[in-house]
Amino acid sequence: MPTCLYCQHGNPPHQSDCRQCGMPLPALAERAGERRQRRFLWFCITLTLFCVTMFFWLPRSIV
């Protein structure tokens, strides 16, 4: 049972907003944060692969 962070009112499961004050419940906020975290992880992986590819692909000049 998700409890509202703002008014501590208990809400039924699968409820997106608090029934008492209308603020978004923590369960959905956590899920959104998790999705954002996964997107950030994929961004890091892509960036790393790009850097490695460029490191081997670009010609290196010896100074």
Name the site residues for Zn ion (rule: CB under 5 A). 4, 6-7, 9, 18, 20-21
Q: Which is nearer to Zn ion, 3 or 53 (CB)?
A: 3
Distance CA 63, CA 4 (A): 62
Task: Using the CB atoms, write b or e for 36-49: b if 16+ within 10 Å.
Answer: eeeeeeeeeeeeee
Please, what is the minimum distance in Å from the beta carbon of residue 30 to Zn ion?
16
| Bridge partners, residue 24, by sequence | 17
Please, what is the minimum distance in Å from the beta carbon of residue 43 to Zn ion?
34
Q: Which is nearer to Zn ion, 17 or 52 (CB)?
A: 17
